[in-house]
Amino acid sequence: MESKIAKAVGLKYNPVAILLADHKPENGLQFKKGKWGCVMFMFANAAKGKTAAFDAETYGCWGGGVGLGFGNAYLHFPGGVECFSYFLSSGNNHSKKGKEVAKALEGSAGKEFTEDFLQGEGYIKTPELVEQFLKELPMTEITSPYVLFKPLSEIDPEAERPETVVFLANPDQLSALVILANYARGGMENVIIPWAAGCQTIGILPFREAKSGKPRAVVGLTDISARKYVRSLLGAEYLSFGAPWEMFLEMEGNVEDSFLKRHTWQSLLESRE
């Protein structure tokens, strides 16, 4: 499927379709079982034309398991949710249990992870606020064994129904996507920027929106850890914009008569060339 939006806004990278599937492609990328990896690294490869697959044993990291809909994978974090709450905030060196877990991890965990485990990533101020954040995350148990990332150009909409379509957009392109998302709707908050991991803003958060009566698009890749991992593949200027499938189709249908064909947008495109 070729996207009118992608052409009109001048995307550099493929829009990525996220699908639930019963089978995985033979030549798809996939993390090795039990090995750490960042889901957004796979997303970056899909944006560059490759297909990636994930299952309940190959989602890369705990946040990725949550983000892709494999339940509350934070239960499997070293030391469980309690240690994860300290990891994301003030650090496990303040916790007796955390110190014991850190000692057990010696030699098996990398230096960077061990330091973050003890000192904390500082993304949320307190463990209590992390617990609140986890309660608000729409933890999801998908019913299919696989989640796939595929370039949208390889999707046959007659045979496949993606859950979400995700664009990689620079500031001008993101502005256009936000306008288009609001173009044919009442209200002015048809796009949200929630705080979450990069994979969660392309996975479970758009999944949740798809189930609502008025789904919204989700801006992501504001996760600086994910940005660090994908920078060498994508560059520094991109954010993600995830639209639930029905919303994507709505936006596609509105391209022709919209501002995307008018002089203001065209002049912005020309100024970047």
Q: Note the pLDDT tens digit of each residue in 224-241.
A: 999 999 999 999 999 999
Tell me the percentage of the chain whose pLDDT exceeds 90: 92
pTM: 0.95
The full DSSP string for 46-60 is: HHTT--EEE-TT--S
Give tens-digit pLDDT for 140-172.
999 999 999 999 999 999 999 999 999 999 999
Same domain, 45 and 76: no
Residue 106: the pLDDT is 80
Amino acid letter, residue 73: A
Same domain, 252 and 214: yes
Total number of residues shown for the chain: 273
Give the number of domains in the chain.
2
Same domain, 154 and 261: yes
Give yes or no for residue 95 having a pLDDT over 90.
Answer: no
Give yes or no for residue 273 having a pLDDT over 80.
Answer: no
Q: Domain range spanning residue 223?
A: 4-66+141-272
Same domain, 125 and 17: no
Which structure tokens are listed for 76? 């499997």
What residues contact residue 86 under an 8 Å CB cut-off, 6+ apart? 92, 94, 95, 98, 120, 127, 130
169 strand-pairing partners? 239
Same domain, 49 and 180: yes
Residue 45: the pLDDT is 97
pLDDT band at 12 (very low <50, low <70, confident <90, very high): very high
3-state helix, strand, coil in the chain (%, to 5): 45, 15, 40
Give tens-digit pLDDT for 99-122.
999 988 887 778 889 999 999 999
Give tens-digit pLDDT for 23-69.
999 989 999 998 999 999 999 999 999 999 999 999 999 999 999 99
